[in-house]
Amino acid sequence: MQDLFGTDNGMFVQPDLWREMAFLSTVYRIPPAMIFRAAVEGSRLAGTPYFISEGSPANLLVIRAGDSNLWLSRDIIRTLVTRAGNCDIVTKVINS
């Protein structure tokens, strides 16, 4: 069985997968790599999984690390899960 993660609170507040990942990491102490993988795996439910695989077009988020505290990271996955957010995204490259 595969763990999936997403947000379903769009009726009450703006959905924010970044904050949901940080919440899981902080409150439940789930390893950041497991949270990040479950979030990406959850994209499959929307129709197109966002894993990079040979022969498939890549979909990327370009993160601006230099303008935030992300560039100081010693563990990039933990940093993305706990400190990154929508404001750190420079552009989205979607090749569907």
pLDDT digit string, tens, across residues 15-32:
888 998 999 999 999 999
CA 45 to chain centre: 15
Q: What is the phi/psi pair of residue 90, to 5°?
A: -85, -50
Instruction: Report the chain's C-alpha Rg in angstroms.
Output: 14
Per-residue pLDDT at 1: 44
Per-residue pLDDT at 94: 82
Per-residue pLDDT at 16: 86
Per-residue pLDDT at 96: 63
Please give the share of the chain, as a percent, with pLDDT higher than 70.
89
Average pLDDT, stretch 31-45?
88
Give the Cα separation of 42 and 15 in Å (integer): 14
Per-residue pLDDT at 2: 64
**What is the tally of helices (H) and strands (E) in the chain?**
3, 2
Which of left, alpha, beta for 7 (phi over 0: left; psi -120 to 50: alpha)? beta
